[in-house]
Amino acid sequence: MIITITNNKGGVGKSTTAQTLAIGLAQRGYKVLLIDLDPQCSTSNTFKVDTQPNNIYQVLKGNCSITDAIYTNNYIDLISSSLELINADDEFKKGAYQYKMHKLIKEQLDLIKDRYNYIIIDTPPNLSLLTTNAIYSSDAVLIPMIADIYSINGLKVIYQQIADIKEGTDNKDVYIMGLLLTHYKAQTLLNQSLKDTLQEISEQIHTKVYKNVIRDSVIFSDSQASNNVCLLKYPNHNATADYLGFIDEFIKDTKKSL
């Protein structure tokens, strides 16, 4: 199953969620590929593959095969990102690319997807060509978000983008599998109120809010600063337990598709 993790707003725990979900699934015995499509290379830095000469940019350019870009560590397979992806919107809308620009990722994943139980794609924090490619190639979309009005307003934009992809391409089945609340502060009335609002919106767009919310914690910024995944560095922390609960929900939702 191919899952795109996206949000057009930064600072919502998108890369942290992608990394933690990938490791958590691998720890449960699933074969996982994690792809970093974000030019910021946060996930690539975390797993120390940011200097790999064969990366997703080189794959899309046709300079190497996708199998040659796969790096394996003790838990998962990875394909790293590249700073050169920052110009992807301009570069891949020209020449021969323009006739298949929304299929660039899918054509590559079709070659290897049968090797994995899950392929997780970490995307840029914007609605770029890369994000559109990821969604088009996916079975489902997972949206990490914080309980604030900007995230809620941005959700409507993401929902419309997915609707446009379903209408304008041959992927009619991609859907929003769920909304994951991150950096959650249960003690604040605003967070609680917006959580209720988000629940109402999720029903309108035919998805759900995961029961497990990820509480706000310093372990996430600390893990990022030390290029670690919180699940590995702080396996017994309460905030890590939140992610473990979410992963259990995720597996329950997706195991019928495996």
**pLDDT value for 65:** 96
**pLDDT value for 147:** 75
**pLDDT value for 91:** 84
**pLDDT value for 121:** 98
**pLDDT value for 179:** 95
Angle among Cα 59, 63, 68 to the nearest 5 degrees reads 60
**pLDDT value for 100:** 67
What's at 89, amino acid-wise?
D
Integer angstrom CA distances of residue 74 from 31, 47, 165, 195: 12, 11, 36, 37
If phi > 0 it is left, if psi is from -120 to 50 it is alpha, else beta; for residue 169 that is beta
Nearest Cα neighbor of 82 from 45, 55, 48, 46 is 55
pLDDT tens, the chain, 258 aa long: 999 999 888 888 899 999 999 999 999 999 999 999 999 999 999 999 988 899 999 999 999 999 999 999 999 999 999 999 998 888 887 766 655 677 899 999 999 999 999 999 999 988 888 999 999 999 999 999 887 777 778 888 889 989 999 988 889 999 999 999 998 877 676 667 777 888 888 888 889 999 999 998 999 889 988 889 999 999 999 999 999 999 999 999 998 666
Question: DSSP per residue over 190-242, as a string?
Answer: HHHHHHHHHHHHHHHTT--B-SS--B--HHHHHHHHTT--HHHHSTTSHHHHH
Domains of the chain: residue spans and CATH: 2-249 (3.40.50.300)
**pLDDT value for 126:** 85
**pLDDT value for 47:** 94
Residue 55 has phi, psi (to 5 degrees) of: -140, 180
**pLDDT value for 258:** 65
